[in-house]
Homo-oligomer: A and B are copies of this chain.
Amino acid sequence: MSLVFAQPSSDHTKVEEGLAFTPRFDSHGLVTAVVTDAEDGMLLMVAHMNAEALALTVETGIAHYYSRSRKALWKKGETSGNLQTVVELRTDCDQDAVWLRVKVAGHDATCHTGRRSCFYRSVDIADGAVTLTVRDDIRHFDPDTIYDKK
């Protein structure tokens, strides 16, 4: 990794209106990454990136994240084959989040459950109680076959 990000300016206007990419990593060294399908805009996943993951993503054009549960760099799709090629990368006003428009390889599935998107359930109110409803139950791959269960 050769890319090093400059420190954000303390001037809000520079961060919001400038053309310098100076990501604002949080106290854990992470920015939020929103991932949508470049073709139809479907929200596929939300993840996090540290500076290394962000630099690798920019340099290689393949999405890399930081897994908070595994505490490790995470090349998305390395096991499942569902790599994400970045079509466009954007950042938001205060530069603490990035948006990746991607093309998904392999099974065209992003969620580790085998579904296309991680957002397969809606939150609904029924009789005053909150419940979930499954909106997409199509499995594009079998997680038990793809992932090594240790």
- In the complex formed, the residue of B with least CB distance to A112 is B93
Whole-angstrom CA separation of A123 from B5 in the bound complex: 12
Separation of A36 and B46 alpha carbons in the complex (Å):
13
* Beyond A90-B123, A91-B121, A93-B111, 9 additional pairs, beta carbon < 8 A: A32-B46, A36-B43, A41-B42, A43-B43, A43-B99, A46-B97, A90-B135, A92-B111, A92-B118
Binding site for B on A (CB under 8 A): 3, 5, 16-21, 32, 34, 36, 40-43, 45-46, 58, 88-94, 97-99, 111-113, 115, 118-125, 130-135
**CA of A72 to CA of B73, assembled, Å:** 33
Are A123 and B21 touching (Cβ within 8 A)?
yes
Q: Which residues of B contact A125 (CB under 8 A)?
A: 58
